[in-house]
Amino acid sequence: MTLARPDVSSAAPIDPVRVAPTLSLDDVLALIRNEIQVLRVPEFISAEACRTISQGLKSTGYSDYLNAPKVGRIGMSYFETGRKPEIIEHYFATALDNLNLLRRACDPYPCPMDTFRCVMDETWGAGCTLQTLYGRKMFVGLSRCMKPGIPLKAHHDMFGRHAPDTPEAASLISQFGINIYVDVPETGGELAMWQDELSDAEFLDQRGDDYAIPLENLPPCNYSAKPENGDLILFNARKLHAVLPGEGIDRLTISGFLGYRGDREPLTVWS
């Protein structure tokens, strides 16, 4: 099935996608306050850094998600653990190694997720820190590779589903996706989003045995953002979202989540 490029629906909120020259406190607060749904910062990392990091990531090599075939990754997402104790243990046991693996792949440039963490720590009054769960540090900086013609199906991200009955998940007010784009196709690869929110029960019912909802089972998205190399995009990860298939080249990103627990609480990051 060939998907048409998305049209912005009249049902979408005013100015759902904001493009800003820098990552500022005012724009992050607009995202937190639901005044915007997507914040795009062009050239968050330089073109030369993108070229070097792209080569390093490809040399390191990608393997498929445990529970999302055809989606390549370097590092591990907590989503993959499926609440299975042995996989959770593997996630934490390899978290630091995976952080260092990404840093080596980016050398001599800093890992873009490290840069993001540093900027947010300086921007947010209470700081920004690596998420801790079960008394252990989580991994952040997952690199994803989407092959041409392969979408990332529609889903929403709920920390509480993967870490139920934990204070870290219970205290979370908002969860935002972090994507830093290292190499993207000229055509396709948009971040597509839907304005309506599904409950977790509705989402699980609609996805069935799949990891997410096939795009052909949904109406056209309400709004979208087309990234370019070096861009940073933050978005409301609790809304249904997907990545449309790209054309010609692999789509390489470095990604994670940003957690908000109140204006006086530190922000946290994890993958």
| pLDDT at site 64 | 73
Which CATH code is given to the segment(s) 36-270? Answer: 2.60.120.620
> Model confidence over 178-191: pLDDT tens digits?
999 999 999 999 99
Q: Residue 121, Cβ neighbours under 10 Å: how many? A: 15
DSSP state of 215: G
How sure is the predictor about 92, in pLDDT bands with cuts at 50, 70 and 90?
very high
Q: Which residue has the higher pLDDT, 255 or 2?
A: 255
| DSSP H helical ranges for the chain | 25-32, 47-60, 85-93, 95-106, 112-123, 159-162, 167-170, 200-207
What percent of the chain is predicted at pLDDT more than 90? Answer: 80
Higher pLDDT, 50 or 161: 50
**Residue 170: which H helix or E strand, with range?**
helix 167-170
pLDDT tens per residue, range 125-173? 999 999 999 999 999 999 999 999 988 899 999 999 999 999 999 999 9
* Structural domain boundaries in the chain: 36-270
**Whole-prediction pTM:** 0.91
| In the predicted structure, residue 5 carries a pLDDT above the cut 60 | no
pLDDT digits (tens, 9 = 90+) for 25-47: 999 999 999 999 999 999 999 99
